[in-house]
Amino acid sequence: TRAQLFQSQKIEALGQLTGGIAHDFNNLLQGIIGSLEVVEMRLAAGRQDVDRFLGNAIDSAKRAATLTHRLLAFARRQPLAPKSVNLNDLVAQIAELLPATLGERITLKLDLAPALVPVLCDPNLLESAILNLSINARDAMPEGGCLTIRTGSVPPGEGPLRRPHSLRDAPTLLLQVSDTGAGMTPEVRARAFDPFFTTKPKGRGTGLGLSMIHGFVTQSRGAIELESEPGHGTTVSIYLPSGERRSMRTLEGRSTVTRWEP
Ligand code: ADP
């Protein structure tokens, strides 16, 4: 809905903003370096008339600082607000919007496990993650195909290869987005989570989608895994801790039962 649209527009805007800022920032740095080089040369030649160039360098450095502040202010506008979220309800809501985004050649399948315990995470960011993964899946299936969104609970002992403590101690839920698209080569797969890494044409990809999702999942004390092979499609698995904790080991090694009531 409006929030989701806003979210994906925001990611796009962030990409444009960071791209633009990096460019302007680089220009200012070039100016600072140039001015300081003149100062260095003049001083080496015994000249004292360097005020103007030092002034220029300071001026450019201040403008560069303003630029990074702008970027940080934009990035900080969104603190995480974790809540108890019903995964299936959230997926069902997004599924209403998706056909318009996916187009007619892509079939959307939902495979939702019944009676799931709620997850603990920021619903707006989770929504935006699902939307971004679906857009990536769409882009990987230009000839059409199938997008599957699956939810489930993960039995103890199963789940991600690297399981953070938060998932060992709480029931774990799974959200999986799979496509039957082009898949990734090992080189692309290795860099897919890097900020600004994109294989999409200029103006289409920001390279920020997966890196932002990775950041959000890690901050939510979950884990994310990517399976992909050229010609065999891609599956992204997101593991999130439930809002209800089974037990929590304290630093002293005692076992206490704790409930998270957001
Ligand atoms: P963007 O979509 O803007 O390129 P992402 O961080 O979301 O940025 O993705 C980075 C890169 O990972 C993509 O450019 C693409 O090469 C690859 N990728 C992501 N999702 C998929 C997918 N479902 N199928 C194939 N490749 C993918």
pLDDT digits (tens, 9 = 90+) for 98-139: 888 888 999 999 999 998 999 988 888 898 899 889 999 999
Q: Which helix (H) or strand (E) holds 241?
A: strand 234-241
Please give the Cα distance from 52 to 155 (Å, whole number). 69
Q: Which atom of ligand 1 is nearest to the CA of 207?
A: 8
Q: Which of 18-27, 31-40, 79-88, 126-135 has the lowest mean pLDDT?
A: 18-27
Q: One-letter amino acid identity for 13?
A: A
- Ligand 1 lining (C-beta closer than 6 Å): 136-137, 140, 179, 181-184, 188, 192, 197-200, 205-211, 234
DSSP designation for 82: -
Best of 136, 206, 212, 237 for a ligand 1 pocket test (most atoms within 8 Å of beta carbon): 136
Please give the Cα distance from 43 to 27 (Å, whole number). 25
| Nearest protein Cα to ligand 1, atom 2 | 205
> What mean pLDDT comes out for the span 14-30?
74
Q: Which residues contact 187 (CB under 8 A, 6 or more apart)?
A: none
User: Please, which residues bridge with residue 240 across strands?
Assistant: 173
ipTM of the complex: 0.99
| Nearest protein Cα to ligand 1, atom 16 | 199
Question: Between these two residues, 19 and 141, which has the higher pLDDT value?
Answer: 141
What tokens were used for 81? 């607000």
Best of 177, 210, 212 for a ligand 1 pocket test (most atoms within 8 Å of beta carbon): 210
CB 192 within 8 A of CB 53: no
Q: Which atom of ligand 1 is nearest to the CA of 183?
A: 25
Cα 262 to its chain centre, rounded Å, is 23
Q: Which atom of ligand 1 is nearest to the CA of 177?
A: 23
Q: Is the pLDDT of residue 250 over 50?
A: no
pLDDT digits (tens, 9 = 90+) for 141-169: 999 999 999 999 998 778 887 778 778 77
pLDDT at position 8: 64
CB 1 within 8 A of CB 61: no
Q: Which of 72, 8, 19 is nearest to 212 (CA)?
A: 8
Q: Which residues contact 146 (CB under 8 A, 6 or more apart)?
A: 106, 107, 108, 109, 179, 180
Ligand 1 center from residue 228 Cα (angstroms): 11
Ligand 1 center from residue 28 Cα (angstroms): 31
pLDDT digits (tens, 9 = 90+) for 238-247: 999 987 654 4
User: Please, which residues bridge with residue 255 across strands?
Assistant: 249
Q: Which of 132, 96, 120 is nearest to 214 (CA)?
A: 132
CB 75 within 8 A of CB 112: no
CB 193 within 8 A of CB 223: no
Q: Which atom of ligand 1 is nearest to the CA of 194?
A: 6
Ligand 1 center from residue 47 Cα (angstroms): 55
DSSP designation for 181: S
Q: Which atom of ligand 1 is nearest to the CA of 204?
A: 3
Q: Which residues contact 172 (CB under 8 A, 6 or more apart)?
A: 153, 154, 159, 239, 240, 241, 242
Q: Which of 9-18, 37-46, 196-205 has the lowest mean pLDDT?
A: 9-18
Q: Which atom of ligand 1 is nearest to the CA of 199?
A: 14
- C-alpha dist (Å) from residue 3 to 75, 80, 116, 209, 219: 17, 15, 25, 17, 21
CB 127 within 8 A of CB 90: yes
